[in-house]
Structure 1
Amino acid sequence: MRPMLRRVPASVALSAALALVLTACSTPDRRAAAPPKLGSAGSKAAPELPFDVRPLIHPPKKYFGAAMKGAPHSMKAVDDYTVMVGKRPNLIEYHAAWGDGFDSSGVRKAWESGALTVLSWEPFRTSLADIADGASDGYIAEYARAVRTLNLPVAITFADEMNGFWEEWGTEHATPEEYVRAWRRIHDVFADVGAANVIWTWSPNVINPMKKVALRPYYPGDAYVDWVGLVGYFTRVDPPDEFDELFGPTIAQIRTFSPKPLIVLETAAVPGSRRAADVRQLFKGVSAARDVVGFVWFNHKAPRADWRLAKGSEALAEFRRLAAADIYGFDVRKVR
């Protein structure tokens, strides 16, 4: 539960573009493209192939991610976080409301620092049914064109925590069928404009707070998903949470219907005497799970708790020690 808060010759450009209108999750045979040259958008030369995100879906090491105020539009918080934890995040998450424009500047800044951006797109003040029926197609297409024009990789998660009652798009406001239709509609609009530089990330909350809500009815299908994101926070004090207890039941259920790579898309631990132990559990669990490609620490202060790592704390010292492991972090620009 989220705390409240490469060029091609002109003779082949057309055929290449037609062959690549689908997204990463449904185009396993598309040819790899070299990363675009920054600032090339708007050129009248032959169009670039969409950025090939496949190597980033199955990375050589674990993503070391963080979410923090103002990032990636401003990278100051990322710089400060890097100094604090001793390693630069290579996955930066931010949230955008429905109706917002695509933050191409922020995504570019993150990329230039060696990080992939993950966007959590939240459909506030609209309904999944309306999205599914095409009411937002114009907005989605405009957004998708901006993503395609930038032509840098970006992960997108839409309406996460859909299995929770606390979200406007959650169990008390939308059906699983509406959710799936809305997800597929968005995905297909992106495909129509050729925005294949997206890692589609389906992200339920861990099932522990609502065990009776099955995840499978909410799943759009493997053709529409690249990563499965997990949202879960270490909140239990006595006895404390363990990684397998917090995430294990959700992973087990997901594995009955999808083999997609997993990523802990949002996590943190409540402040207090158990926080250092929770940090150890997080790193231990992600390190041991071969199908979990990394995690994102939610470094925000929220009404429910201050999830930020505190300077001088035992938890920060433990986080810094464990983050130093070579398995965590890599320059996303160098992945082929």
Structure 2
Amino acid sequence: MKKLMKKNLSTAAIALLLLCVADLPGRSEVQYAGIAPNPAAPVRTIIDKRPVLHAEGIKFGAYDPHGDFGAQANVATEALFLPWEDVDLETLRVADAYAQARGRRNLLITVEPWSWDVDWRLTSAELRAKVLRGDYDVNMRAIAQMISALKSPVIVRWGQEMEDKSGRFSWSGWNPQDYITAYRRMMDIVRQEAPGTELMWSPKGEPGLQAYYPGDDYVDLVGLSVFGLQRYDELAYNEHRTFSEALKQGYDLVAGYGKPIWVAELGYEGGDAYMKPWIETATLKQSAFPNLQEVVYFNDRDVHAWPFNLGRPDWRVVKSLAN
């Protein structure tokens, strides 16, 4: 088994770049529903597309390796992604201090059960066998022990988007019972080493996710992934989807569990007319989603290419003036 090795994470970047939020009038998302796609190139003048934070709205958090939200108030959660191999766990202390200094309420730690070095990655079958055999218990235990020493309240999100069939993640598409066994094994370790840590079960939001539900005792929060890419919507749906339309399928599939629901990963990209509804409504409380408690923006370029040869979308809120 490969041991934990040192590699710095860009979790708590210190850059404090802030640009003004676009001056957008308050509107209901209903006004944008059903907008027909325009085949012409989208007009883009917005250089800062961060979501509008509404008073009395949904709480907001961010995965922010560039530090674009570093000086922004009302960011409840600092999110980070952590492979369980080739990582320096001391970076968790850095993220904790960063969050504490900025008054962030939570750390949301997504633990990805692989290495970020593609040359180290196992096949899906190899990874499944080793996890179920207990070969990676020591990795998870080391992470949980470090979590127990942090000052911030922590939420652990392990093996996200498990029902996805695209092959994006080595742990996605496993036999549901194998995934449930692995998830419970890892979360039992978290509970042993870091009592009080909340557990987030985080499907992508696709049909079939119910088969992967590990049981109420192993879920404190449910996290979904919600992304909006204009050109993808045009090719896949022949229409522009709003935030509510993109969220609805996954939300409806998990609402019956009665758990607090988060959008654990949020991102959008396109022209002004496409993005404005997302910017204005992502943190707006809506009666259709009564259990939605927080949205967490993924403030970086996607690490995977999208279908239709669309490449890796850039979800980052600040658009370079040089582009």
Into which bin does the TM-score normalised by the smaller protein fall?
0.5 to 0.7
Q: Which runs of 5+ in 2 are unaligned?
A: 1-55, 115-120, 303-310
Q: Tell me which protein shows more helix as a share of its residues.
A: 1
In the alignment, does 2:314 pair up with 1:306? yes
Cα distance change, pair 245–192 in 1 and its aligned pair in 2 (3 A): same
Aligned counterparts, 1:73-112, within 5 A: 76-79=67-70, 82=72, 87-99=73-85, 100-102=87-89, 103-112=92-101
Provide the rounded CA distance (Å) in 2 between the counterparts of 1:167 and 1:286: 32
> Scaled by the length of structure 1, what TM-score is found?
0.63
Deviation at 1:196, TM superposition (A): 1.5
In the alignment, does 2:60 pair up with 1:64? yes
Aligned counterpart in structure 1 of residue 223 of structure 2, from 226, 229, 252: 229
Letter in 2 for 1:297: Y
Cα distance change, pair 114–287 in 1 and its aligned pair in 2 (3 A): farther
SS where residue 129 of structure 2 aligns? helix
Query: 2:177 — aligned with what?
Result: 177
Deviations 1:39-91 (A, max 9, x none): xxxxxxxxxxxxxxxxxxxxx97321111225xxxxx44326x2xxxx34221
Judge which range, 176-185 or 284-293, deviates more: 284-293
Letter in 2 for 1:78: F
SS where residue 139 of structure 2 aligns? helix
Deviation at 1:244, TM superposition (A): 3.5
Provide the rounded CA distance (Å) in 2 between the counterparts of 1:135 and 1:265: 28
SS where residue 249 of structure 2 aligns? helix
Residues 57 and 283 of structure 2 are in contact (CA less than 8 Å); yes or no, is this contact kept in structure 1? no
Residues 61 and 78 of structure 2 are in contact (CA less than 8 Å); yes or no, is this contact kept in structure 1? yes
Aligned counterparts, 1:193-272, within 5 A: 193=193, 195-207=194-206, 211=207, 214-235=208-229, 236-237=233-234, 239-256=239-256, 258-272=257-271
Residues 129 and 182 of structure 1 are in contact (CA less than 8 Å); yes or no, is this contact kept in structure 2? no
Aligned counterparts, 1:135-214, within 5 A: 135-165=135-165, 166-171=168-173, 174-193=174-193, 195-207=194-206, 211=207, 214=208
Letter in 1 for 2:175: T
Deviation at 1:122, TM superposition (A): 0.7
Deviation at 1:117, TM superposition (A): 1.3
Cα distance change, pair 312–122 in 1 and its aligned pair in 2 (3 A): closer
Residues 266 and 295 of structure 1 are in contact (CA less than 8 Å); yes or no, is this contact kept in structure 2? yes
In the alignment, does 2:104 pair up with 1:118? no
Deviation at 1:285, TM superposition (A): 5.6
Provide the rounded CA distance (Å) in 2 between the counterparts of 1:138 and 1:310: 39
SS where residue 142 of structure 1 aligns? helix
Letter in 2 for 1:189: I
Letter in 1 for 2:160: D
Residues 198 and 221 of structure 2 are in contact (CA less than 8 Å); yes or no, is this contact kept in structure 1? yes
Deviation at 1:114, TM superposition (A): 1.3
- What percent identity do the matched residue pairs reach? 25
> Size of the alignment, in residue pairs?
235
Provide the rounded CA distance (Å) in 2 between the counterparts of 1:283 and 1:62: 5
Deviation at 1:242, TM superposition (A): 2.6
Q: Which runs of 5+ in 1 are unaligned?
A: 1-59, 71-75, 314-336
Cα distance change, pair 281–113 in 1 and its aligned pair in 2 (3 A): closer
Deviation at 1:215, TM superposition (A): 1.2
Provide the rounded CA distance (Å) in 2 between the counterparts of 1:216 and 1:140: 25
Query: 1:128 — aligned with what?
Result: 128
Deviation at 1:151, TM superposition (A): 4.9
Query: 2:38 — aligned with what?
Result: none
Provide the rounded CA distance (Å) in 1 between the counterparts of 2:220 and 2:259: 6
Deviations 1:271-292 (A, max 9, x none): 2131112223423366863311
Cα distance change, pair 220–108 in 1 and its aligned pair in 2 (3 A): farther
